[in-house]
Amino acid sequence: MTQGMRLPEAKAFVAEKLGVSPADLSDPVIMHEIREKLGLGRITTFEISHPTQAVAIESKFNVEEVLGVPVNSVRRFEERRIGPAQRGR
């Protein structure tokens, strides 16, 4: 979406980056496995602790890396943490 894509184009882009079909993006079982494998965070239907899984901002950093697109919250986090002048992007 940050690249000005329409929804079908954005789904095709994300699906290609994740190595799945656009239809797989709507499959909760497939996406649960992919999100776990790539460290993108997981959505669960019950509260459970996954101490080895990426959570919160770490997941967003992983999403940015896997998809190769900027994530606004990651940029804001980095700016607050290290300052805009030292950022390597």
Q: Is 71 helix (H, G, I), strand (E, B) or coil?
A: coil
Q: What is the pTM of this model?
A: 0.56
Q: What is the mean pLDDT of residues 14-26?
A: 94
Q: Is the dihedral of CA 62, 69, 2, 17 positive or negative?
A: negative
Q: How many CB atoms lie within 10 A of CB 73?
A: 13
Domain edges within the chain: 7-86
Q: How confident is the model at residue 21 (pLDDT cuts 50, 70, 90)?
A: very high
3-state class of 34 per DSSP?
helix
The pLDDT score that the predictor gives to residue 82 is: 76
Helix count and strand count (H, E) for the chain: 4, 0
Mean per-residue pLDDT of the chain: 81
61: pLDDT strictly greater than 80: yes
- Choice between 87 and 31, residue whose per-residue pLDDT is larger: 31
